[in-house]
Structure 1
Amino acid sequence: MTAPALTRPAEDLPDAPPPLGRNRDYRMLWTGSAVSALGSSISSLAYPLLVLAATGSPTKAGLVGFANTLPNLALPLHAGVLVDRFDRKKLLIVCDAVRALCLASVGAALLLGHFWLWHVLTVCLIEGAFTVLAGIAGQAAIRNVVRQEDLDRAFARSEARDRAAMVFGKPLGGVLLGMTRSLPFLADAASYLVSLAALLMIRRPFQARRTERPAEARPGAWTEIGEGVRWVLRQPFIRVASLLVAGSNLLFQALFLAVIVLLHQANASGTAIGYVLAAAGIGGAAGSLCATWFRRRLPLAAVVIGANWIWALLVPVIGLTRSPLVIGATVAGLAFVGPVWNVAVEVYRLVNTPDELQGRTTSAVTLVAFGALPVGSLAGGLMLDHLSGRTTVLWLAAFMVLLALAATASKAVRTVPAPGRARQEAAA
């Protein structure tokens, strides 16, 4: 059975974008985002290593990750309102400019021989906040840059881009940091400038034409947030899929910590552990290349239910072996499935969401999905403090089986409507 054909909604721009192979604006957007993703991957490794080298405190190094991810809990809903209210391209340009300045300030301070923890934490917090806004704006914009029949391929290429950045960026971050402490941060600042330049060269607007309301006629931010949240709640499949994503994100955040502990207990070298973690990027990139093929040939219900059961079968393998080779192959398999899920589910959501609600619905789904990450880190740490690595993985495997059973039993998943129909049902 093939996936249902995608149809252009009435509120879309009247002049259709060209096919993906001839879509200059999409190529510019993808290229700028690829360079930016590589820069972010470089600095994500350099931040904790810099703080560890300067302070010798793992706790202070952990604060860096906390500051950078805190906006994922605090800002998505309000960011969605901004994305739906204002010009999305201008918002993305502002995000790149602010992040470039922040990273350049860290690089400049280090060049001058200065390190201040408060400065690094502030930059991490600001960069994280504007990254949340940029992520929601970019995802809401993509439907107006490519044809809807090309959405799945566009998302697959984005997934491949991000996974490749993870594979190459983290080792590169270590190399640049070894050359001079300022270089990773200056490289990330330059990557944001490249992304900004690419945005300036895009001619197509990032939102459909709509009637602008004067500021005094606009409802309050919480009213607009409520509109997006209620729309998601009225979509049974999107609601259930978001909860399933939150559950799997929580599990995988704890699982990867357990993988590191297991390998460390097996006396694996740091290089071997690095290769195992890099396998996630390689598997994810491979899954990205196949995601469009699966989306067009399998019903959405089969993708969702199948992905959960594949994860349920693979997770316990990690707890039953200490071989870095077997664990690496299993991690790659787990990561392979992720893009297949992401492309199928996200294309469905974008097709069914009115353009004027794209930012707010994306922010609501993002809050649920990424809000689970710190919970997963906390849960994984607590379990590993009281249980062995193998026992922790087997408990996580049991949790994954429960998620797979929930996906299989869900009527919203098994009877997911065709693209376009969910919007009509919500409007009714």
Structure 2
Amino acid sequence: MRTFIFLWLGQLASSVGSSMTYFALNLWVWQQTQSATAIALILVFYQLPQIAISPLSGLLADRVSRKRLLILSDTASACCTVAVGILAALQILQLWHVYLIAAVVGSFGNIQALTYSTLIPLIVPKQHHTRASSMGTMVGYGANIFSPALAGLLYPQIGLLGITLIDMSTFAIAMLTLLITPIPAIVNRYQDTQKQQFTLQTTPQKIENVEETKRNIWHEVTFGFRYIASQPSLLAMVVAMSVFAFLHQVSETLCQPMILARTGGDTQILGLVVAVSGLGGVVGAIALSIWGGFRRRLAGILAGFIGTGFSYLMLGLGRLSGLWATARFGSSFHNPLVMSSYMAVWYAKVAPKYQGRVFAADYLVGIVIESTAGLSAGLLADRILEPALQSGGWLAVYLGGWIGTGPGSGMALLITMSAMGMVLIGIMGFTVRQLREAETLIVDHDSIGR
């Protein structure tokens, strides 16, 4: 665990700077547009390129030095961050610049996140996989404790350029820890398992047929999807997580614009709520690291679904900053339980030499789901529910007493509906036989994907 903790500390430092930049960009976009859709599009453009690049990221993670991939992806993302600061300093930053840079950062961020997820089985003993995964989720939440307050305080004084310079200093810390951390390689992981893994048709040592080469590459790219599809229990887990992720992303997308709308753009209240959210994630991750999680990982996943749903229900129905902060604490507190339990199952069932491609397939499904959810949430809130819950709107008569009327009420309604769905998915999951079998599944790695 010592090697992982050292690397983790560098990632935590970098995450503080990145979170400050992201929070400042949200404030800038809200000031320019007053639109939930405009804010949601930052995440959408961040995720869309990953749909195309995820399968290739999986191949890279299994074939190329994972340390080199982390260095490359982190450096590219840092260059994009600097570009934001320079454009802002020159006063020529526009909304399309933000979206374009988000797309580039998303592409390299995909490589970084996928590669990082495959490191845990290489440098952490099996009995500590859940703890390591929970510490991984702590990175973003830990940064959220300090970043919103720092960004809210410094943004009016130093602008986006100053924020991005702080981001660069934290990036330097992360890069230093990465450079000096030994990361073991999987020796001959591709050459030694090529025939077992892909069951290629009989071909000469040097393939001269271009069409057959294309078929072989396609076979590799789709390996992760075939791996998952061949195991009904793992497929059921992906479906359950996808439904939850859609509903969760709807609520996550609308949380900050709802608070800004209902408080008249009060960044101090938003900063407080985001900071408490980060605290909830850290407390949840620490508690899980000490406890170790449920022995039955499925129970951890579904309990996390239910707890997250009830927390967002409080967020949607609440109208006071104290309730919002409590709700965000609760939703973040349960996130490490969901993700760590989920990943612990995958670490146990997928051999390290296959994890890049299999995790990439699962990650790609998540990206498509979350991108669709984010865009749908913004459009539905801005164009339908917000007007409907204004004073005199067609929904205000029926739901105004529960949700309220005025700015932010339509977003609150959508968060409430999504929260109820999360609770329902968690309860129903205990009755699905395929999910219950996921933890007892014994996988014949060499026969999958044939």
Out of 288, 293, 300, the residue aligned to residue 285 of structure 2 is 288
1:179 aligns with 2:175: no
CA contact (8 A) 1:287 1:336 kept: yes
CA distance in structure 2 between the partners assigned to 1:196 and 1:319 by the alignment: 40
The alpha-carbon deviation at position 113 of structure 1 amounts to 5.8
The answer to whether the Cα contact below 8 Å between 1:295 and 1:340 also exists between their aligned partners in 2 is no
Contact preservation (8 Å) 1:44, 1:170? no
TM-score, normalization: structure 2?
A: 0.78
Q: Is the 8 A contact 1:229 1:361 kept in 2?
A: yes
Structure 1 residues 317 and 227: CA distance shift in structure 2, 3 A: same
User: 2:61 is matched with which residue?
Assistant: 83
Counterpart in the other structure of 2:400: none
Partner in structure 1 of residue 433 of structure 2? 411
Deviation of the 1:165 alpha carbon: 0.9
Give the match for residue 350 of structure 1.
347
1:157 aligned residue (124, 135, 140) = 135
Residue 195 of structure 1 aligns to which amino acid in structure 2?
Answer: A
For 1:78-135, what per-residue CA distance to the aligned partner results, in whole angstroms no more than 9, with x for missing partners? 2112211211111111112222222233334555565466554433221111011110
Alpha-carbon distance between aligned partners in 2 of 1:216 and 1:84, rounded to the nearest angstrom? 21
**Inter-CA distance 201–246: structure 2 relative to 1 (3 Å threshold):** same
Q: Which amino acid aligns with 1:274?
A: G
Residue 57 and residue 325 in structure 1: after superposition, are their counterparts in 2 closer, same or farther (change >3 A)? closer
TM-score, structure 1 as length reference: 0.82
Paired with 1:70 and 1:104, the residues of 2 have a C-alpha distance of 22
Q: Point out where structure 1 has 5 or more consecutive residues left out of the alignment.
A: 1-19
- The match for 1:332 is 329
**Matches of 2:68 and 2:342, distance apart in 1:** 27
Contact 1:28 1:201 in 2 (8 A): no
Give matches, 1:247-396, under 5 Å: 247-256=243-252, 257=254, 261=258, 264-265=261-262, 269-381=266-378, 382-383=380-381, 384-385=385-386, 386=388, 388-389=409-410, 391-396=413-418
Which one of 1, 4, 7 corresponds to residue 29 of structure 1?
A: 7
Partner of 1:131: 109
Residue of structure 2 in register with 1:67 after alignment: 45
Aligned match of 1:199 in 175, 178, 182?
Answer: 178
Structure 2: how far apart are the matches of 1:96 and 1:313? 36
Look up the match of 1:233. 229
The DSSP-based 3-state class of the residue aligned with 1:322 is coil
Change (3 A) 1:270 1:113: closer
CA distance in 2 between partners of 1:101 and 1:153 (Å) = 32
RMSD of equivalent CA atoms: 3.2
1:136/1:359 contact within 8 Å kept = yes
Q: Does the 8 A contact of 1:292 with 1:343 survive in 2? A: no
Q: Aligned letter for 2:368?
A: G
Note if contact 1:281-1:335 (Cα within 8 Å) is conserved in structure 2.
Answer: yes
Number of matched pairs = 403
Per-residue deviation, residues 217-245 of structure 1 (Å, max 9, x unmatched)? 97644321211111122333432222222
Helix, strand or coil: the match of 1:298?
coil
- Deviation of 1:215 (Å): 8.9
Q: Is 1:38–1:168's contact at 8 Å kept on the other side of the alignment?
A: yes
One-letter identity of the residue aligned with 2:332: A
Distance 1:113 1:320 in 2: 39
Q: Which runs of 5+ in 2 are unaligned?
A: 195-204, 389-394, 396-408
Distance 1:120 1:315 in 2: 29
Change (3 A) 1:201 1:119: same
Query: Quick one: distance in 1 between partners of 2:79 and 2:110?
Result: 17
Separation in 1 of the partners of 2:323 and 2:77? Answer: 39
The 1:336/1:48 distance shift into structure 2, 3 A limit, reads closer
Q: Return the alpha-carbon distance in structure 2 between the equivalents of residues 183 and 284 of structure 1.
A: 27
Q: Distance in 1 between matches of 2:377 and 2:221?
A: 32
> Separation in 1 of the partners of 2:102 and 2:370?
17
In the alignment, structure 1 residue 222 sits paired with structure 2 residue 218: yes
